Structure 1
Amino acid sequence: MKARVHVMLKDGVLDPQGEAVRHALGALGFAGVEGVRQGKVIELDLKAADKAAAEAEVQSMCEKLLANTVIEKYTVEIV
């Protein structure tokens, strides 16, 4: 079973990497980009056979290691 975790900065948290990307896109001629938020995707291969148990385990992984829950939000997708 695979799990995909999307981690993004929470709304209101300054995103300097996203701003750098927005600026670079403007310099390349992509003038219509008004904002960029950058995040990360983490894919996990799990042994779990039960979807609910796998999701609970990945949620725990996010809370303990994969996301900084003070400034980041995350979503878990079991695929």
Structure 2
Amino acid sequence: MYLAKIYVTYKPSILDPQGVVIKSALERLDYQGIESVTQGKYFQVQLSGADEAAVAKEVEAFVEALLINHNTETYTYDLTEI
């Protein structure tokens, strides 16, 4: 069994309006040194499979098919055996 932790964020070229609002709010609360804030989505998916490479390929396939908008978002993931 594997656990995929999937992080979806905007591509660097896309304005993140929620991140801008969060950064502004933190600065109003007097937090200093915050250069930028990126907000995104986080998914945890448990998968069965004997081969880590095959499970990784499956994760990439369903993320690209369902979880991201190819025009505006990108993703990374961590895969661990549980």
Same fold (TM over 0.5): yes
Report the aligned-residue RMSD.
Answer: 1.1
Could you tell me whether the CA contact under 8 Å between 1:55 and 1:76 is conserved in 2? no
Identity %: 39
- Report the equivalent of 1:75: 76
1:4 offset after TM fit, Å? 1.1
Q: Write the distance in 1 (CA, Å) between the matches of 2:77 and 2:36.
A: 24
4+ residue runs over 4 A deviation:
none
1:1-79 aligned within 5 A: 1-79=2-80
Mean alpha-carbon deviation: is it higher for 30-39 or for 13-22?
30-39
Q: Secondary structure at the match of 2:65?
A: helix
TM-score (norm 1): 0.91
- Which structure 2 residue ranges, 5 or more long, are not aligned? none
1:51 offset after TM fit, Å? 0.5
Q: Write the distance in 1 (CA, Å) between the matches of 2:32 and 2:65.
A: 39
Q: Write the distance in 2 (CA, Å) between the matches of 1:76 and 1:33.
A: 25
